[in-house]
Amino acid sequence: MNAYPLLFTPSYHQRIWGGTRLRTLFGYPIPDKQTGEAWVISDHPHGRSAIQNGVYRGKTIHDLLRLHPDWFAPRRLERFPLLVKLLDAHDHLSVQVHPDDRYAYEHEGEWGKAECWYVIHAEPGAEIVCGHTAQTRQELAERMAAGEWDKLLVRTPVRAGDFFYIPHGTLHALGKGIVVLEIQQNSDATYRAYDYGRVDAAGKKRELHVEKVLQVTNVPDVPAKVEPVTRESDYLLVTHYLSCPYFTVEKWRLSGTRDERSRECFLLMSVLSGSARLEWGGGELALRAGDHLLLPRKLGSYRLSGELEAIVSYPPNQAASMQKAG
């Protein structure tokens, strides 16, 4: 079976802080008015996204890792490494932290969760929590116990087009009025520090994980630096945001026709705006905003034609388009 680009149907997740912007922005058939997350490229057991095109329609990445391991990497992957989501923060998310791989393996039986955000939409005045001011773990514990969240948390204003990296151990939260594309390790390990005293539909407060938060939070906090680098060649403007041990993330802005070739590992593409035609040896696809696809490493040569903006992510240690440009 020849490799072909895989389009996905999202897995939707209701959240206490969710809303309806995923329908407004992308026309998704969200299931309710509190749809907080769409897991758009996912092989996590808490919400796998289904392939929607070609002979493997209805199958999952999990299935194809078994059937065609060479579509993904030179060596068989024990588990798909990345997870891509859209998050609609109609209300504030809980203040939370994610563990590193060592801690997560020991306590949760899965990977840690480093992640990054590309801001798609932000209401005026919107902000995120990213970091804290405590200088010792004792100070962190005391301020949390006293509920001194305004003194403890570092808040940053955001606008559409901003990019943030959230390493393991970073206290963080999306504020209300924000929609982001999130690229992360394939993990659901999350520890809540603060949830604004909210109750769910049953009148119950959501669980907090204070002890684990105190164990895994980086103290003192060291802000992650993101230094975008942009280069242009052959109708493609590439902004390289991040290369870390878990993923590389770029923004591609296509204005015309660009010939590319698949890499030593798979590539993930999330179309944010515009439209384009993707052609390869075995066929073609029309791409539009809200599409999310995986380009297998065995795809070979392909061509993109149109006007399109997309976030592209892939495992580390691959040659980026911006490095090939020119």
pLDDT computed for residue 1 by the predictor: 86
166/190 Cα distance (integer angstroms): 13
| CA torsion through residues 122, 184, 52, 9, sign | negative
What is the percent of the chain where pLDDT is above 90?
A: 93
Residue 200 binned pLDDT confidence (cut-offs 50, 70, 90): confident
Residue 292 has pLDDT above 60, yes or no: yes
Q: What does the angle CA 228 – CA 303 – CA 293 come to, to the nearest 5 degrees?
A: 65
Note the pLDDT tens digit of each residue in 165-197. 999 999 999 999 999 999 999 999 999 999 999
What rounded mean pLDDT belongs to the chain? 95
pLDDT computed for residue 322 by the predictor: 33
Note the pLDDT tens digit of each residue in 210-225. 999 999 999 999 999 9
Domain boundaries, the chain: 6-216, 229-324
CB 296 within 8 A of CB 3: yes
Closest CA to 250 of 163, 184, 190: 163
pLDDT computed for residue 72 by the predictor: 97
Q: Which residue has the tokens 């439209």?
A: 275
Check if 297 is active-site: no
Residue 318 binned pLDDT confidence (cut-offs 50, 70, 90): low
Q: What does the angle CA 83 – CA 85 – CA 86 come to, to the nearest 5 degrees?
A: 170
Greater pLDDT, 191 or 320: 191
Q: Could you tell me the fold of the domain covering 229-324? A: Jelly Rolls (2.60.120)
Note the pLDDT tens digit of each residue in 232-248. 988 999 999 999 999 99
Token pair of 268 as six digits: 């993930």
Q: Which residue has the tokens 């998310």?
A: 93
Note the pLDDT tens digit of each residue in 70-96. 999 999 999 999 999 999 999 999 999
Closest CA to 298 of 260, 264, 259: 264
125/159 Cα distance (integer angstroms): 9
Q: What three-state secondary structure class fits 305? A: strand
Residue 258 has pLDDT above 90, yes or no: yes
Closest CA to 130 of 93, 102, 89: 93
pLDDT computed for residue 319 by the predictor: 43
Residue 68 has pLDDT above 90, yes or no: yes
DSSP state, 197?
T
Do domains 6-216 and 229-324 share one topology? The answer is yes
Which one of the listed residues 192, 253, 258, 263 is annotated catalytic?
Answer: 192
Residue 321 has pLDDT above 80, yes or no: no
271/9 Cα distance (integer angstroms): 14
pLDDT computed for residue 326 by the predictor: 24
What is the percent of the chain where pLDDT is above 70?
A: 97
DSSP 38-74: EEEE---TT-PPEE-SSTTTT-BHHHHHHH-GGGT-S
Q: Could you tell me the fold of the domain covering 6-216? A: Jelly Rolls (2.60.120)
